Chains A and B, each alone.
Chain A
Amino acid sequence: MRTSESRLKVKKDGGVIEVQFRDRNILDEANIQQIGEEIKTLIDSEQKPKLLINFTDVDHLSSAALGTLITVNNRLRSLQGQLRLSNIDPQIYQVFVITKLNKLFEIHETADKARASFKP
């Protein structure tokens, strides 16, 4: 049985939904699936959602997690929403570069810069 405890810390401020992860390692298939479902619930409840995913304290990320980010990005696009990523550890950023997902996602150094980049 999977735990129903949230895998995310969620903050809503100025029309932006900011999520952080409770886990340092985003590897476990069941957790990744839960993260995807939780984010979907969050964005589906908003009109043209603005989502900021803050990777503070995340040490490891698997390709399955990248897959969930892509699914979230596709969902946001269908909702005419916007996605920003921030605070990605340099080693994890390398994973984005290798897979060229740094070109698909808009990635900012800090949450403040990411927040400021949302279009009205």
Chain B
Amino acid sequence: MSQPNAGNADHAVLTPANNRADINVVEEAVLKALDRHGYPEASRFAVRLALEEALVNAFMHGHRGLPESETVEVEFSVSPAQVVLTVTDKGPGFSPESVPDPTASENIELPSGRGLMLIRSFMTEVRHEQGGNRLVMRYERPDQA
């Protein structure tokens, strides 16, 4: 993966492939940036969860039918006041409105479909761009919100 020094950056663009090692590098780089800015544990939990779910969605849904080596682009920017994460996949995109409500009684026992809901719940603002294959997530530091 590119950007080997991302572990010390507050802003970086990384290109993980669909494997745990690459995903861990991205998550650790982002979490280290949060630590440098003194974000609390609840923020680490929220950001990590959202990033994890966004990457799983990008690889599982966005990249369905593409080779496993195909990378997604993760851009992160961490400042004292907020964290902005952008995940861009190479898939055809999707319509966020087409995702069924996983808490509806007819869906509650389905084993999938909760990732986007968790992202929306833990992030301050979530935006879909480029026809759905770019997800922009913004998280405001709680004590400054």
Contact = CB atoms under 8 A, between A and B. Distances in A.
B21 to A, nearest CB: 11
Given A63-B115, A95-B49, A99-B114, A104 B56 contact: no
Interface in B95-121: 102-103, 108-112, 114-115, 117-118, 121
Q: What's the interface size class on B, roughly?
A: 20 to 34
B48 interface: yes
Contacts, number: 53
A62 interface: yes
Interface stretch (A38-46, A64-72, A110-118): A64-72
B53 interface: yes
A27 interface: yes
B42 interface: yes
Contact of B118 (A70, A98, A104): A98
A4 interface: no
B45 A60 contact: yes
Interface string A60-99: 1011101110110110000000000000000100010011
A100 to B, nearest CB: 4
A101 interface: yes
B52 A27 contact: yes
A28 B59 CA distance: 13
B110 A95 contact: no
B108 A104 contact: yes
Contact of B49 (A62, A67, A73): A62
Given A28-B20, A63-B118, A95-B118, A101 B49 contact: no
B45 A100 contact: no
Interface of B: 20, 41-42, 45, 48-49, 52-53, 56, 102-103, 108-112, 114-115, 117-118, 121
26 contacts: A28-B20, A30-B20, A59-B45, A60-B45, A60-B48, A60-B49, A60-B52, A62-B49, A62-B52, A62-B53, A62-B115, A63-B53, A63-B56, A63-B114, A63-B115, A64-B56, A64-B112, A70-B109, A70-B111, A91-B41, A95-B118, A98-B121, A99-B103, A99-B118, A100-B108, A104-B108
